Amino acid sequence: MSDHVYRLSEIVGSSTSGVDDAVRTAIRRASQTVRNIEWFEVQEIRGQVSDGEVAHVQVTLRIGFRVEE
């Protein structure tokens, strides 16, 4: 394993489809502007209820990306 330095950032993804889609949406969008994303960690899941049904899901993630030399 090489010696790497990582930086952490917190992002929030949302979806009407579920947790998996919210995570994938957040990572996809973040990777458009952040290079070298190598891992993520789910910090929090919350949602909106409308008429007794889950209407929206938000997932807070910490992403780790490698600092370039």
Note the pLDDT of residue 56.
96
Classify burial at 21, counting beta carbons within 10 Å of its beta carbon; exposed 0-12, middle 13-18, buried 19 or more: middle
List, in order of start, the domains of the chain with CATH numbers: 6-66 (3.30.1660.10)
The tokens for 58 are 């938000």
**pLDDT at residue 1 tops 70:** no
Note the pLDDT of residue 68.
85
Mean pLDDT of 19-35: 97
Note the pLDDT of residue 69.
75
Share of residues in the chain with pLDDT > 90 (%): 91
Span 31-61, pLDDT tens digits: 999 999 999 999 999 999 999 999 999 999 9
